[in-house]
A and B are shown apart, each in its own frame.
Chain A
Amino acid sequence: MTFLAAIPSELIHIVIGMVAIMAFVGIHVLVLVYAERKGAGHIQRRPGPFEVGPHGILQPLADAGKLIGKQLFTPTNADPILFWMAPVLAVFPVLLLFVPMPFGPVVTVQEVNLGLLLILAFAGIGVLSTMLAGWASNNKFGLLGAARTVSQSVAYEIPLLLAVLCIAFQKGSLNLSTIVEGQGSWPWQWNIVTQPLAFLIFLVCAFAETNRAPFDLPEAESELTAGFHTEYSGMGFGMFFMAEYANMVVVSGVCTALFLGGWKGPGIDGVWWFMIKVYALLALFIWVRWTYPRVRFDQLLNINWKWLIPLATLNLLGTVFLMKVF
């Protein structure tokens, strides 16, 4: 027991937290795969997965079994180290993004004063992995997907940061828990009321940064086969798939904490409010994906450079001005 006592409690705390995060992400990927396929089915007036288990509820498990069982191929003339590094780089940084996430009043893996900055910094590694995947595949579709990823995510990161900065200025903190505590329990006390434009800009950029339709140009299957992950088989593809859903959960969580009052809500505050809001945003993601057609690439960049960036800049200047005056 003396040996155990020598381990610093912070270390135990972090290890338990990371294990919990992995379990959380794993379960949510399974749930989201099912929700996405069912949502797609019902929006297109068909039942969706129905065969495996009651109402196809075991379908994600069957999918996972299929992906794990498949053989892993490395294309000829591909760079094998970079090729297999990309899916690993896609998944692991995402797990880190859950560390400062304020799930509830006490349910946070680690209080980080610069939590928002940590999430923004490590989210950039996802772009790197997508680029590496596209380039290392030695495939023109992959390369095109990678080129699109770069121009898309570099462009959309700017209004995203500007929108987040508005909230950070208003609340005077980069700690997500502090930002949540600065909001009230009732919907009209949330940041979305004072910063509706920042919320809209954040939401649009969130779609672009997670490569979700209507902004899923890097993997546009009608023109690029599967874009950056064309050459990946089995779990190589599975890891990109996992990373996409985990990123969606992160973005919804950050959006909830910044704009929708986090774990605060009418009645009793707690983890449930956070999860309800996150699920509502995830449902919105799925709903939008199966409702809107994909935009063209020039449209995508025009929306950003001609609308989102000027609007976000004006919004930030307005916020700063009003804060100085009042």
Chain B
Amino acid sequence: MEILAKIAFALHALIILGGALVAVSSKSLVRALVGLVVTFFGVAGMYLLLATPFLAFMQILIYVGAVCVLVFFSVMLTRADGEGEEARPVTIRHRFNALLAGLVPAVGLALVLIRHPGAARDLPVEVGLPALGTGLLEQYSLSFELISLILLVAMSGAVVLTWERKEKQ
């Protein structure tokens, strides 16, 4: 079973990386969005591998079913094509900066993992939905509420941004 789990992990990592590569490298915004969807599915697969089906289905329901659909809607309304004003030619300096920005967290995480290798874990056990609910609303209620606070801040930020743009016109 352990070898199967490793194969599944590698497969999902490949899906995530492949989707991410499409998302950052394609000129068409809709293709990039499809890459993002593939990444979300890979992450959902990882959640399933960790025996947390609730998180996996929520990932698909919220990120694929709602977030991506709304992103697509805004892309469609703005008619953003690959030849927009931000599509300038990529210089070597850009590539170098991008590589640096990507490598720093990757190397940092890898160093931590190599220095403190995790002990071999048993296959994860599925936590039932009632236990998850009580955990979120009792033990971890503070962090749970803080997350919704962040969402509230983001939402009011979006409202403020559109408000200012309206006044200028």
Contacts and interface: CB of A to CB of B under 8 A. Distances in A.
16 contacts: A82-B31, A82-B34, A113-B53, A113-B128, A113-B129, A114-B54, A118-B53, A121-B64, A127-B65, A128-B64, A128-B68, A128-B69, A128-B72, A147-B76, A147-B77, A157-B66
Interface in A40-73: none
Interface in A230-272: none
Interface of A: 79, 81-82, 85, 112-114, 117-118, 120-125, 127-128, 131-132, 135-136, 143, 146-147, 150-151, 153-154, 157, 174
Interface residues of B, number: 23
Contact of A154 (B31, B37, B61, B69): B69
Contacts, number: 77
Q: Binding site of B, secondary structure by majority: helix, strand, loop or mixed?
A: helix
Interface string B20-64: 000000001011001001000000000000000110011011001
B73 interface: yes
B70 interface: yes
Contact of A122 (B60, B69, B72): B60
A135 B54 contact: no
A122 B69 CA distance: 13
Contacts of A127: 65, 69
Closest 3 CB pairs of A and B: A124-B65, A121-B61, A121-B60
Contacts of A112: 53
B164 to A, nearest CB: 25
Contact of A125 (B53, B64, B70, B76): B64
